[in-house]
Amino acid sequence: MTSVAERASRVRARIDAACRAARRDPAEVRLMAVTKTHGPPVLEEAYAAGLRLFGENRVPEAAEKAEQFADRTDLAWALIGHLQTNKVARALRFAAELHTLDSLRLAEALDRRLQEEGRSLDVFVQVNTSAEPAKTGLAPEEVEAFVLGLRPFSALRVRGLMTLAVFSDDQDAVGACFARLAELQRRLRQLDGAPGSYDELSMGMSGDFELAIAHGATTVRVGQTLFGARPAAPVR
């Protein structure tokens, strides 16, 4: 059976090749290991393989894992699933990044708690570039007004944008989602008063991360290609 270390090495090689094809520096692209539903043995393998940024969807599951791996001080946890305001306090105990900010109500709840704790949080604004009703995230035309609305929340460090492309074999359709996010990034960089840097794009998963890199991705979120098929989610 192929080990996580072998798979990670192959994924890194593919990232490097995609960067070369796009005339980009591979150092610009972070590999996030999506560890949702995988247990401690898999996470141990991932850590041993040199992976240091882990992505999780559910706060209870992520909180348990973060506690189990609390001694790995160089390991960072990112939330990549929808965050409810009633779970903000628990999420902030471990999360170094939130990739799914899409409401001012959530921004306010995060900022209030962070101000109380005297710290900040890296966030990515989630955009629904595929216009699929089942997906969360802002419509592209809502993003400029939304980011201007983040100005009062000084504890949120806006690093960039995040999207989930349409799940399709049509590479043109997938690439169009990434192109929309890259265009939004360009516009936000020129928007007066927009808080944050907008230097980063969190986009691309196991089936499309190379295409995402071609469109400017700086974080790719890879799960199945690293770990194989996910087991059933634990009951919470």
The amino acid occupying position 111 is D
Within a domain: 52: yes
Confidence check: pLDDT of 232 > 70: no
Within a domain: 62: yes
Radius of gyration (C-alpha) of the chain in whole angstroms: 17
Within a domain: 234: no
Per-residue pLDDT tens digits for 52-90: 999 999 999 999 999 999 999 999 999 999 999 999 999
Share the mean pLDDT of the chain.
Answer: 96
Among residues 40, 50, 68, 39, which one has the least CA distance to residue 5? 50
Within a domain: 46: yes
Within a domain: 236: no
Q: Assess contact for 227 and 221: CB atoms under 8 A.
A: no
Per-residue pLDDT tens digits for 131-176: 999 999 999 999 999 999 999 999 999 999 999 999 999 999 999 9
Within a domain: 146: yes
Give the predicted TM-score (pTM) of the model. Answer: 0.94
Question: What range defines the domain where residue 170 resides?
Answer: 4-226
Confidence check: pLDDT of 236 > 60: no
Confidence check: pLDDT of 2 > 50: yes
Helix (H) or strand (E) holding 122: strand 121-127
Q: Assess contact for 236 and 59: CB atoms under 8 A.
A: no
Within a domain: 233: no
Q: Assess contact for 178 and 144: CB atoms under 8 A.
A: no
Per-residue pLDDT tens digits for 94-142: 999 999 999 999 999 999 999 999 999 999 999 999 999 999 999 999 9
User: Domain with 142 in it: what CATH number?
Assistant: 3.20.20.10
Q: Assess contact for 163 and 203: CB atoms under 8 A.
A: yes
Within a domain: 232: no
The CB density around residue 22, as the number of other CB atoms within 10 Å, is 16
Calculate mean pLDDT across residues 191-219.
Answer: 97
- Structural domain total, the chain: 1
